[in-house]
Structure 1
Amino acid sequence: MKKIRLLLIPILMSLWHCGYGQSGAIGFHMTASEYDGDLNGNKHHFYNFKDQKLGGALSFQQYLNPSFNLVEKISFNQVRYQNDEHSQGVDASFWVVNLKLKYKFNNGYIFKEGAAIAPFLVAGIGGTYIDSRQYTEASSAKITDGQIKGNVAAGVGILFQFNDRVGLEVANTINAPLYDGWDGVTKGGNDLYMQHSAGLIFNFKKPRDTDGDGVPDRKDKCAETPKAASVNSNGCPIDTDKDGVADYLDKCPTLEGNPDLNGCPDKDHDNVADIDDKCPDVPGIARFAGCPDSDNDGIEDSKDKCPNIAGLDIFEGCADGDGDGVQDSQDKCPDTEKGIKVDATGCPADSDGDGVTDAVDRCPTSPGDVANNGCPAVKEEVAKRLNFATRGISFETGKAILKPSSYPMLDEVVSILAEYKDYTLKMDGHTDSNGSNAANLKLSQSRVDAVKAYLVSKGADENRIEAKGVGEEQPIATNATAAGRAQNRRVALSLILK
């Protein structure tokens, strides 16, 4: 036993360090072994489990890469064999420590790394402690009394992986102790035995899964997948419809679609996904949820009364060619010049109904004469009243103070202004030639200002009154006589159109 401890202690320490110092697994195995050697003529005939004795094994595995694991295995194997004549046999016990390299077929090249059934090959070297006896039906004698020798091992097996933590491993491994005499016969080549094993494999810790998608990082080809995503065995997001948009981002995960439309189809190719398209069979625009606007007037065809003519929203999509606010279908004058006011029929308006359109009517709100540009003509009697009022306006001598006798005449002027609302009252103030030109000009202006002030005080619009003093420059009679000078001192009144 001292030799066994010397063999096992450093190896166990190494296994403990390897097993727990990095990602790996531990296995607990049951074993059964069959002899092959000089006693049966090296026939290599296995799977004859007569006189079997059970053994056990402990293994440690370290992940190296997708194709290889490093395996350390400690096993206790018992081998019993007796030839057919029962003349000679062997009963041996082996304590074996092997360091092996395991080639995995589930490496992503042959089978998927996450395959539930994973075949493998294994081979390695190690050491064995041998204790054997030779026996027949009548006798038994020691062959070896504890020998430590080298050992070569090679085998095949299958791992049935239940989940990320637990699996069942079955394997057949040839062990060849580098010592020919353990069966009591030293002729021929070294004797060997096959170890049949079955055991449970437990991973030390759950494999690292950074993105939490259930696929270990070492198998995960998309290691930063969002947690919401469904993934395949490689850890990459599933794309059920194969349209290049992962299901967790795909609004139509079962329909092949356009990546630019969140994976949804667009059968009318208008860049509006069918699930959002109110007119999925006709190309349209996004503004109208995929429905068309054939005339590009900003009104979708379903609401456009003139879908093939660019029109205006206020006319439900119909046009107003002359821009007068009356749609063409109702416009009796569709070519009206821009800027001209029109009536409900689209023709130039005549607000006062005098036969002169507002566009040329200088008095559009007052019925007038065509000859007078649509304005009412000043009646002859009104002209006479203004002329009479002109002669009735008088001032105090040398002053701009109206005499009270002027008031009735000016009141008449106020009423005339009220009647002719489209006209402006023009007043020219005149003097005789007495005094200087400058003084007379100033006096004439003061007098018309006084008249204007009176008219405004009686309700006249001062903006419709023009008052200008012209002094002595426009006499209507001689200034050589008193009668002539009296005629020259006047305020001339007239109605004018602006």
Structure 2
Amino acid sequence: MRKKLLLICIAILFIACHHARAQSGAIGFHVTMSEYDGDLNDNQHHFYDFNYKQVGGAVSLQQYLNPSFNLVEKVSFNQVRHQNDLATIGVDADFYTVNLKLKYKLNNGYLLKEEAAIAPFLVAGIGGTYIDSKQFVESSSSPITDGEVKANVAAGVGILFQFNDRVGLEVANTINAPLYDAWDGVDQGGNDLYLQHSAGLIFNLRKPRDVDNDGVADRKDKCADTPATAKVDSKGCPVDTDKDGVADYLDKCPMLAGTTTLAGCPDKDGDGVADGDDTCPDVPGATRFAGCPDTDGDGIEDSKDKCPNLAGLDIFQGCADGDSDGVEDSKDKCPNTEKGIKVDEVGCPADTDGDGVTDNLDACPTSKGEGSVNGCPEIKEEVKKRLNFATRGIAFENGKAVLKPSSFPMLNEVVSILEEYKDYKLKMGGHTDASGSNATNLTLSQARVESVKAYLVSKGVSEDRIEAVGYGEEQPIATNGTAAGRAQNRRVALELILK
């Protein structure tokens, strides 16, 4: 019968162990010692009276149900030995017990923290027991029971000392009440008890749930979403060595207290550039200059700015050009030059041709005016005479716009004059006498000045320097009543005018 019970216990243990693994449970191995409490001592409950020390053992399995309760299966072997005070009657009993119990944990988050290292508990349940007992007296030793299988009620208290997430020490006192009074040889109508004292190691069968894989079980983890690469403390929260509010795994300067905006690095000058990246760590500066200052705010850092306290330009290494003439103020002899005026190397209005009239006032800035008011060269009297002489020498075939060859030397003289006075343009007026109709004369006069213009252009004079207009008979300079007067009216008038 004992072998059968043992096989049953092993089978139950195997099934429960498999179930415990599937449910993330725990297994315990316990040493037990039991005390008698029944008819032989008049139910005086003399607990902790170890006159007859008998050692037993137990294996337990636990499944986590919720923070308050565990389900416990326990298979135990207990030996109980006791004699009455007169040593006239005694009992020596062996109990093979299987109990299913509910364990109430005080470390449920309400009374104590779930992760408490010292965790008291209450336990109660029912089961079955196989009883084998005999008389225990000096004079005789005869069987009392031989293989009785009875129900069993159990209740107790204990404390779990949790060393870590995997191992703990459990001590407990459990009262077992086999529902059979005669196992001690005395049947007085009540059920005799025995108190089981136990101490055992509890091993978690599965590693505690740790969703973020930081090494701290979820039930203890106060920061459940910590990256697996982060170093954490005992509560599962990221370590912040320098206590600056930036966790080490995010802190670029984990040993130096810094700011969150700079990933935990310090910025003693408060310019927004971390000291490690700040070329000027003791002086507030700009990010674009690696933390170095630009006092005048001109976009040039002070170390490269020749005028660090005065806003300036890059081309002048930070110095100013107040009148924007391209000459920095320190070299500008005319610092208030009107905007847009061309200046020389010292910032004064330029006089390109050196005639004493600045370019902004000089109508001929590239031609020396020889003291003229407008800066343009004045036409010499002899040139005027040459131009007038050339005018009288321009002749056409009668009634046509064809130049006579005799006109060519005169027109060549005009070309040379235009080359000498490049700032001037030539104004030509074509005139006829009153012979013929006015319309015919107007057409003829325009054709003749166009013919002159074409010749001058062929000699290299720019077309835009020539203004040619035919006036016909409208502007006579002599009478048309005589041949001599009509000859004077037939002419091409030439005049030099500024462009």
Q: Same fold (TM over 0.5)?
A: yes
What amino acid does structure 1 have at the position aligned with 2:73? E
CA deviation after TM superposition for structure 1 residue 295, in Å: 1.8
CA deviation after TM superposition for structure 1 residue 84, in Å: 7.4
1:374 aligns with 2:375: yes
Secondary structure of the 1:211 match is coil
Taking the aligned partners of 1:284 and 1:109, their CA distance within structure 2 comes to 55
Deviations 1:74-119 (A, max 9, x none): 211122345676554432212223333445566567876556x443
| 2:195 corresponds to | 193
Contact kept in structure 1, 2:31 and 2:57, CA below 8 Å: yes
Contact kept in structure 1, 2:271 and 2:286, CA below 8 Å: yes
| 1:120 corresponds to | 120
| 2:254 corresponds to | 253
| 2:210 corresponds to | 209
* Structure 2, unpaired ranges of 5+: none
| 2:287 corresponds to | 286
Q: Which moved more, 1:412-421 or 1:277-286?
A: 277-286
What amino acid does structure 2 have at the position aligned with 1:322? D
| 1:174 corresponds to | 174
* 1:309-328 equivalent positions in 2, closer than 5 A: 309-328=310-329
What amino acid does structure 1 have at the position aligned with 2:361? V
| Count of equivalent residues | 493
Scaled by the length of structure 1, the TM-score of the pair is 0.89
Cα distance change, pair 366–110 in 1 and its aligned pair in 2 (3 A): farther
1:486 aligns with 2:487: yes
Q: Which moved more, 1:90-99 or 1:27-36?
A: 27-36
Contact kept in structure 2, 1:105 and 1:118, CA below 8 Å: no
Taking the aligned partners of 2:63 and 2:417, their CA distance within structure 1 comes to 119
Taking the aligned partners of 1:44 and 1:281, their CA distance within structure 2 comes to 80
What amino acid does structure 2 have at the position aligned with 1:201? F
Scaled by the length of structure 2, the TM-score of the pair is 0.88
| 1:273 corresponds to | 274
| 1:392 corresponds to | 393
Taking the aligned partners of 1:399 and 1:439, their CA distance within structure 2 comes to 11
Deviations 1:274-314 (A, max 9, x none): 33322233222222222222222111222222222221111
Contact kept in structure 2, 1:284 and 1:290, CA below 8 Å: yes
Taking the aligned partners of 2:49 and 2:110, their CA distance within structure 1 comes to 32
Contact kept in structure 2, 1:102 and 1:120, CA below 8 Å: no
Contact kept in structure 1, 2:33 and 2:55, CA below 8 Å: yes
1:434 aligns with 2:435: yes
* 1:49-198 equivalent positions in 2, closer than 5 A: 51-82=52-83, 87-104=88-105, 117-129=117-129, 130-145=131-146, 146-161=148-163, 164=165, 166-178=166-178, 182-184=183-185, 190-198=192-200
Deviations 1:113-138 (A, max 9, x none): 556x4433231122342332231223
CA deviation after TM superposition for structure 1 residue 324, in Å: 0.6
| 1:225 corresponds to | 226
Cα distance change, pair 109–409 in 1 and its aligned pair in 2 (3 A): farther
Taking the aligned partners of 1:89 and 1:302, their CA distance within structure 2 comes to 105
Contact kept in structure 2, 1:100 and 1:122, CA below 8 Å: no
Taking the aligned partners of 2:344 and 2:110, their CA distance within structure 1 comes to 86
Taking the aligned partners of 1:284 and 1:67, their CA distance within structure 2 comes to 60
Taking the aligned partners of 1:402 and 1:47, their CA distance within structure 2 comes to 157
What amino acid does structure 2 have at the position aligned with 1:303? K
What amino acid does structure 1 have at the position aligned with 2:312? G
Contact kept in structure 2, 1:427 and 1:467, CA below 8 Å: yes
Cα distance change, pair 67–305 in 1 and its aligned pair in 2 (3 A): farther
* 1:391-410 equivalent positions in 2, closer than 5 A: 391-410=392-411
Contact kept in structure 1, 2:99 and 2:152, CA below 8 Å: no
Deviations 1:402-430 (A, max 9, x none): 11111111111111111111111111111
Cα distance change, pair 79–328 in 1 and its aligned pair in 2 (3 A): same
Deviations 1:457-487 (A, max 9, x none): 1111111111111111111111111111111
What amino acid does structure 1 have at the position aligned with 2:171? A
Contact kept in structure 2, 1:55 and 1:76, CA below 8 Å: yes
Cα distance change, pair 70–239 in 1 and its aligned pair in 2 (3 A): farther
| 2:357 corresponds to | 356
Taking the aligned partners of 1:36 and 1:307, their CA distance within structure 2 comes to 99
Secondary structure of the 2:142 match is strand
Taking the aligned partners of 2:112 and 2:318, their CA distance within structure 1 comes to 66
Contact kept in structure 1, 2:17 and 2:27, CA below 8 Å: no
